[in-house]
Amino acid sequence: MKVDWAALGTVFGVSLTVVLGLVVLFSAGLRALSAREDARERGASVALPTTAATACLVACVTVVLFGIYLIVAR
């Protein structure tokens, strides 16, 4: 009876890293969007928060697409 603990460990490690990464990126994106609204109300420049939000959300999409690519590419 041989259980492939390494493979199970991989599932755990990969899932944890990917999900926490996604959650942090997504939340950061929302915070940046929120900061953008604040900046707009103050009449300040929205360039920085807009860039940050876009970067975070694009990174989210990239992570997901890369994951799917890894599954398909095998």
Partner 1 sequence: MDASLLVIIVVATALAFDFTNGFHDTANSMATSIATGALKPRTAVAFSAVLNLVGALLSVEVAKTISGGIVDDARITPAVVFGGLVGAIVWNLVTWYVGLPSSSSHALFGGLIGATWIASGADAVHFAKVVDKVVVPSIAAPLVAGIVALLATFLTYRLTRRTRESVSHKGFKAGQVASAALMSLAHGTNDAQKTMGIITLTLITAGMLQPGAAPPMWVVLSAAVAIALGTYLGGWRITHTLGKGLTTIEAPQGFAAQTSAATVIMASSHLGFALSTTHVASGGIMGSGLGRQRDGVRWGVAGRMALAWLLTLPAAGIVGALAGRVASTGTVGVVVVAAVAVAVSLGIWLLSRREPVRPEHVVDEIAAQAETHKVAV
Which parts of this chain interact with partner 1 (CB under 8 A)?
1-4, 7-8, 10-12, 14-16, 18-20, 22-24, 26-31, 33-34, 37-38, 64, 67-68, 70-72, 74
Non-local CB neighbours of 63 within 8 Å, separated by 6+ positions? 18, 21, 22, 25
Tell me whether residue 42 or residue 71 sits nearer to partner 1 (CB atom).
71
How many angstroms separate the CA atoms of 32 and 50, rounded?
7
Least distance from C-beta 17 to partner 1, angstroms?
9
* Smallest distance, partner 1 to C-beta of residue 40, A: 11
Distance CA 55, CA 1 (A): 48
